[in-house]
Amino acid sequence: MPSDPAPASARRAVSSLDHRIEAAAGHDIDTLWAQRDRGLLDEPHARLIDQHRELAQAESGVTFHRTLLHRLSSGEFPVDSALFERINRTVNQMEEAAALRDAAAREVIAHLEPIEAAAGTVSVATGRPISAADQAVLLAIAGGAKLYEHLLTHRLSVTTASGTRIPYAELQRLEGAGLLSRDTSHPVHAGQPVALTAAGRAALAAALRPARTQVPNTAARPGAWPSTPAHRR
């Protein structure tokens, strides 16, 4: 009896975590995979994408065994002891593949949650204030900045008018949060202008605005009636 076919080489498989990764990183999975291959991701994002690749491979294994099980039960093969043996073997292999997939998913989540937490500090939608580090980045870019690609290493980084260098991953995160935009009509080797969006300017202005001083409640004069009478039970 011929041996069962091996799974095809792994390509990106759609997983239940793809949308969370894309939301946190600000790019689709295919772009993130390509950036990982070119060495353009920082260490946390690179580890996340490496774990996502393992998850994609595990998902492919589950899909392969499920497809094989469907084929075995489709009526294509005679119902005999050999078929029962192949079905049992396939079910066991699919169970093992599912366990590997679940373990890979847990690893992805472990690497994803810190990135989600960092991205959440600049969320315009939630109205939460930006962090001091992000405030410094926005201030530097507000004075003028461009994204450049190194001709030899192909690494991307932002250079501000003051000479400050900002990692590409920081640009991705702030761009994904809607605080920055870049003019892609310019090639990166010549420099793509990077600027604050309207939301970015508003977030920076809010961060720089002095906090309002709270006025303490004025104590009631002795003998004065309370402004709101207490409810009697």
Amino acid at 143: G
pLDDT digits (tens, 9 = 90+) for 71-100: 999 999 999 999 999 999 999 999 999 999
Give the pLDDT confidence score for residue 210 in this predicted structure: 59
Give the pLDDT confidence score for residue 231 in this predicted structure: 47
- How sure is the predictor about 36, in pLDDT bands with cuts at 50, 70 and 90? very high
Give the pLDDT confidence score for residue 120 in this predicted structure: 55
Mean pLDDT, the chain, rounded, equals 79
DSSP secondary structure letters along 81-110: HHHHHHHHHHHHHHHHHHHHHHHHHHHHHH
pLDDT greater than 80 at residue 32: yes
| Separation in Å, CA 99 to CA 94, 104, 155, 215 | 9, 9, 37, 59
Give the pLDDT confidence score for residue 227 in this predicted structure: 45
155 near 145, Cβ under 8 Å? no
58 near 10, Cβ under 8 Å? no
pLDDT greater than 80 at residue 2: no
